[in-house]
Amino acid sequence: MSCDIDGQDGKIPVPEDVQDAIRTLIRWSGDNPDREGLVDTPARVARAWKEYCQGYDEDPSHHLSRVFEEVGGYDEIVLLKDIPFQSHCEHHMAPIIGKAAIAYLPNDHVVGISKLARVLHGYARRLQIQERLTAEVAECIWKHLEPRGVAVVIEASHACMTARGVRTPGVNMVTSRVMGLFRSDSKSREEVLKLMGY
């Protein structure tokens, strides 16, 4: 059980062993976890990680369960672009910060546009690699919305590369996953990538 007083004002309690683990990490980093400024840090860090990893508590496909069939004959590309997101790399647990473009070619029904962003966040709020995040978002839309095509392009910077290791700020990684008509038809692919700005 936690003896953390924050638990009494609506914040989730943090088990002692979780706080101990963060104290160990602070010590390993070279600081003293018992000094005043760091006393509440373990509980804060633990709660922050619960938030960063909220995606584990949801099934992102759930956001695609409500569709609209009255689309007035619209059968062209639906695109949501410049969707900001934050994730964490599974190799260093360091931030991945970027933006995504998600497009699909509807097959007689569409979803509320914000749902595409929700699917992205559902997978981003986990420990990830950018390649898998891109594939998971595309495959979720492909499987649950059954469109004629899906394209997902993600551009992100990885703190494990910009803040440590080779320390190269300003470098972005771009990943894409195209399915259906966007994969088989080069004209459709060109059109969607152009709309996305690539």
Q: Which of 16, 86, 90, 131 is catalytic?
A: 90
The partner residues of 97 in beta bridges, in order of sequence, read: 86, 157
List interacting residues with Zn ion (CB under 5 A): 89, 91-92, 160
Residue 63 falls in the annotated catalytic set: no
Check if the beta carbon of residue 170 is closer than 8 Å to that of residue 163: no
Cβ-based nearer residue to Zn ion, 89 or 138: 89
**Burial readout 24-38 (b: 16 or more C-beta within 10 A, e: otherwise):** eebeeeeeebeeeee
Is 36 known to be catalytic?
A: no
Q: Which of 19, 88, 130, 136 is catalytic?
A: 130
State in angstroms the smallest separation of the CB of 135 from Zn ion.
18
- Among residues 12 and 174, whose Cβ is nearest to Zn ion? 174
Tell me whether residue 92 or residue 148 sits nearer to Zn ion (CB atom): 92
Q: Is 89 a catalytic residue?
A: yes
Ligand-binding site membership of 89 (annotated)? yes
140 tagged catalytic: no
Strand partners, 152: 102, 177
Of all residues in the shown chain, the one whose CB is closest to Zn ion is 160
Report the binding-site residues.
Answer: 89, 92, 160
Q: Which residues are catalytic?
A: 89-92, 130, 158, 160
